[in-house]
A and B are shown apart, each in its own frame.
Chain A
Amino acid sequence: MTIQTLDISPVGRVEGDLDVRVDIENGVVVNAWTHAELFRGFEVILRDKDPQAGLVVTPRACGICGASHLSCAAWALDTAWGTTVPRNAILARNLGQIVETIQSIPRHHYGLFMIDYTHRNYSKLPSYEEAVKRYSPFTGTSYEAGVTISGRPVEIYALLGGQWPHSSYMVPGGVMCAPTLTDVTRAWAILEHFRRNWLESLWLGCSMERYERIRSFDDFLAWLDESPAHANSDLGMFWRMSREIGLDKYGKGHGKFVSWGYLPHEDRYNKPTIETRQASVIMKSGVYDGATDSHKVMDQAFTREDTLHAWYDEGGETHPFDRVTKPVQKNPVDVDNKYSWSTAVRHLQNGRLEAGPLARQLIAGGSHGESWQHTDPLVLDMYRKMGGASTMLRHFARMHELCKLYREAERILREFRLGDEWYVKPTERDGRGWGATEAARGALCHWIEVKGGKIKNYQIIAPTTWNVGPRSTDGERGPIEQSLVGTPIKDSSDPVEVGHVCRSYDSCLVCTVHAHDASTGEELARFRTA
């Protein structure tokens, strides 16, 4: 048996560029290691700065989920300062979060994910010719339409915050803006344009109302069969060709998932505290364990960061409130020792958890949480009937969120009370705060400690940290490491399958695969996954 080693380099943006090494035996990945390759030190930069510095700095940790970072930074200060947040402000923050995600879905789908379906490995598949026509970079019919229209939703963000990316319009006590009727009507027009010119026409091949009737796996299959317009939509095409490729067969992972939940309800979180958040959000938080098919609510107190295999000199594992970020000086890659700038994030009871849209949708299927919170059984039903997670289901979950977020954006535009307040000036004080949300690509949160009128400690755990972290002290692989195990590699000099798995996590990271021949150590190939 020839064993080969593939190295993926880099996969990180928030925690840095990431390299992944995989061992291949008989054409299948049998082991994997992920290592982040960029350190910028945002937590170090924020020490001793103005308490509000996070509002300026953290959206710039990640230009892809800046609204999500800003949400976390603002809510963290709200809980630390004990502010009052008016309902209009909660709605305006949620709208910013939503339109950023609606932007991200087509951009990721066409720009990062579907390009791989035009790979020459698939030239014999029935859908290949159509895939090339639609998804070729820059010139594909759907690529051009999808990438171009992805700029529209964030125009709504600019109506609220002046620009996307990198506004800081969410502040403790509310928002900076006070939108007028024109802003609301313009936002409606932008949403309608997005729906008519892409969401319904290209993406679904049917009305949103028809798609929204799908509640089970059987419903979905019936929808596909109902009309050629459905089967040939970009969603239908994704489903068909993913099965032709076999993306429903690998990329499984740990089968354990986490979501912080998000979108605080406008009338339930006006006095934000760490303790009351999870019962105040529309999209509920949770941990889903596929092995026992059980759900429970997530609590930030269970979060641990383990640095044994990360390039930090901190020892043991800590809760983020107690963490002091200390980078090592020399950072050679040593998979037996330290090999990443990303920490290994653990749940104290459940270990390593996968974050992202699949996690959110599996948790949305649970009966835990508050009775008024959003539930949706579809993806959990698919998970149970399709044999658990896969590269395909992970990406499908992302696509499925679009209509739901669109509807919530519409609801917000109806709920704004233009004559009411948008901001209640808070009193600055010392304290600890926690702000969380769900970025397009998963669970994101910030912990802040303000002492003596300045930041004593600021810690961020990004979705990418959950997903691409290295092994933890107990030896458990990180979620992407685990997902790579079992991946078939057709051509080790061009291992596009590793790219499918990494890209299904939408880690917003640049990623290169180095393929090594294990016997000679010769490098065979490298490539980018996001």
Chain B
Amino acid sequence: MANLLWLQGGACSGNTMSFLNAEEPSACDLVTDFGINVLWHPSLGLELGAGVKTILEKCISGEIKLDIFVFEGSVVNAPDGTGEWNRFCGKPMKDWVKKLSDVAQFVVAIGDCATWGGIPAMAPNPSDSRGLQFLKRAKGGALGAEFKSKSGLPVINIPGCPAHPDWVTQILVAVATGRAGDLEVDEFHRPKTFFTSFTQTGCTRNMHFAYKVSTTAFGQRKGCLFYDLGCRGPMTHSPCNRVLWNRVSSKTRAGMPCLGCTEPEFPFYDLAPGTVFKTQTMMGVPKDLPKGVDKVGYVKLTAAAKGAAPAWAEEDIFVV
């Protein structure tokens, strides 16, 4: 059995909603089949407030063993570093986060707000938000660069806006079943098992990418979203096209450009005028190239691709 506590800071509850879509295992399966004991959760917990505060205090005192501390949402520091703009049980949430992280065996940050600050931390970051151990790409965050939980691991970051439910449940099951030793994380503390391949890996538009055939406007049934519509699939680490969303699809399959939401910079370019759903180019070459490809290589590759493109690639492929 593993005790799990889940709290929300500067959050939209989207990761909780996503989590409830989990299938294998489902949220209920985690409890009934895998012995995860949910100490409390803002949308699911049974205990009432005094009971909640007691649980938090018992975790901090060690009376209740806190195996997994899950945090969703940004850590709010405004105003003036006090955190008073996000109070919980009568005090700043950031104070609870610090104390609970210090006693937890594993600390898991779910979603972009908890990992890197996410949307609330977007310029001008009015709530002075940060993630648990990062602010965007910079290490540190609310707990500091050197933080390690009792298990010896840093904060396990499961980014995404929201995180896919299976990314969450599988990590929780791994921890609960004693396979945490198999968890390897990358430089941004993301589990490598999910975040080494790209969003583009498994995308149904890969042939169109290869032949440089573009989806030139929304609502088309052909083409790749990278060339004109700002898709970040080739440079974003996520398994969105390997582990499908809601069992059935992914944004790029449905026709929506990847926004790169598993990367610390999301939302890219701070959504400055002219940057939304438009590929940023310089002299006709995208500013952001597929990971590891340089400009010269890109120009050669796409020239060759364009020359080799078969006629069918310009016609509807996802036909009615």
Chain A residues engaging chain B, CB cutoff 8 angstroms: 9-10, 13-14, 16-17, 37-42, 44-45, 48-53, 55-57, 60-64, 66, 89, 107, 111-112, 115, 137-139, 143-144, 147-148, 150-151, 154-155, 157-169, 171, 173-178, 180-181, 186, 327, 329-331, 341, 418-419, 421-423, 425, 453-454, 493-494, 496, 499, 508, 510, 512-514, 523-528, 530
Complex Cα–Cα for A130 and B246 (A)? 32
**CB–CB B254/A52 < 8 A:** no
**CB–CB A527/B51 < 8 A:** yes
Complex Cα–Cα for A147 and B221 (A)? 35
**CB–CB A51/B273 < 8 A:** yes
Residues on the B chain within 8 Å of A331, using CB: 79, 84-85
Complex Cα–Cα for A160 and B249 (A)? 9
Query: Given A89-B219, A180-B221, 15 more contacts at CB 8 Å?
Result: A13-B13, A51-B273, A139-B28, A147-B28, A151-B246, A157-B246, A163-B245, A163-B246, A178-B255, A186-B248, A421-B219, A422-B219, A493-B50, A523-B50, A527-B49
Main secondary structure of the interface of B (DSSP, over half): loop
Complex Cα–Cα for A186 and B247 (A)? 12
**CB–CB B127/A40 < 8 A:** yes
**What is the distance, in angstroms, from B142's C-beta to the closest C-beta of chain A?**
16
**CB–CB B86/A17 < 8 A:** yes
A148-B28 contact in complex given A9-B89, A419-B320, C-beta closer than 8 Å = yes
**CB–CB A181/B320 < 8 A:** yes
**CB–CB B38/A39 < 8 A:** no
Residues on the B chain within 8 Å of A64, using CB: 12-14, 17
Among residues of A, the one whose C-beta sits closest to the C-beta of B129 is A40
Residues on the B chain within 8 Å of A494, using CB: 48
**CB–CB B21/A154 < 8 A:** yes
Instruction: Name the residue among A37, A523, A526 with the largest chain B CB count within 10 angstroms.
Output: A526
Residues on the B chain within 8 Å of A40, using CB: 10, 74, 76, 120, 126-127, 129
Complex Cα–Cα for A330 and B85 (A)? 9
**CB–CB A57/B267 < 8 A:** yes
Complex Cα–Cα for A178 and B222 (A)? 10
Residues of B10-29 contacting chain A, CB below 8 A: 10-18, 20-23, 26-28
**CB–CB B245/A162 < 8 A:** yes
Pick the residue among A63, A148, A158 that contacts B12 (CB under 8 A): A63
Task: Kindly state whether residue B193 has any CB partner on chain A within 8 Å.
Answer: no
Which of B39-47, B180-188, B294-302, B305-313 lies at the interface? B39-47
Complex Cα–Cα for A454 and B273 (A)? 6
A169-B129 contact in complex given A37-B86, A63-B162, A162-B245, C-beta closer than 8 Å = no
Residues on the B chain within 8 Å of A37, using CB: 86-88
Pick the residue among B12, B45, B85, B275 that contacts A62 (CB under 8 A): B12
Instruction: Name the residue among B42, B47, B129, B254 with the largest chain A CB count within 10 angstroms.
Output: B254
Please, could you name 11 A-B residue pairs with CB atoms under 8 Å apart, sorted by A? A39-B78, A40-B129, A63-B17, A111-B44, A137-B44, A138-B44, A147-B27, A162-B249, A169-B256, A330-B79, A425-B217
**CB–CB A155/B247 < 8 A:** yes
A512-B267 contact in complex given A138-B32, A151-B21, C-beta closer than 8 Å = no
Complex Cα–Cα for A91 and B256 (A)? 18
Task: Kindly state whether residue B250 has any CB partner on chain A within 8 Å.
Answer: yes
Pick the residue among B23, B26, B161, B275 that contacts A166 (CB under 8 A): B161
Chain B interface size range: 35 or more
**What is the distance, in angstroms, from B115's C-beta to the closest C-beta of chain A?**
14
Complex Cα–Cα for A356 and B218 (A)? 33
**CB–CB A63/B271 < 8 A:** no
Instruction: Name the residue among B13, B79, B127, B252 with the largest chain A CB count within 10 angstroms.
Output: B13
**CB–CB B162/A165 < 8 A:** yes
Task: Kindly state whether residue B124 has any CB partner on chain A within 8 Å.
Answer: yes
Task: Kindly state whether residue B171 has any CB partner on chain A within 8 Å.
Answer: no
Task: Kindly state whether residue B70 has any CB partner on chain A within 8 Å.
Answer: no
Residues on the A chain within 8 Å of B79, using CB: 329-331
Among residues of A, the one whose C-beta sits closest to the C-beta of B72 is A63
Residues of B55-104 contacting chain A, CB below 8 A: 74, 76, 78-80, 84-90
**CB–CB A530/B248 < 8 A:** no
Among residues of B, the one whose C-beta sits closest to the C-beta of A118 is B46
Complex Cα–Cα for A353 and B192 (A)? 50
Residues on the B chain within 8 Å of A143, using CB: 28
Task: Kindly state whether residue B253 has any CB partner on chain A within 8 Å.
Answer: yes
Pick the residue among B87, B122, B254 that contacts A9 (CB under 8 A): B87
3 smallest A-B Cβ distances: which pairs? A526-B49, A63-B14, A527-B48
**CB–CB A162/B13 < 8 A:** no
**What is the distance, in angstroms, from B97's C-beta to the closest C-beta of chain A?**
14
Task: Kindly state whether residue B173 has any CB partner on chain A within 8 Å.
Answer: no
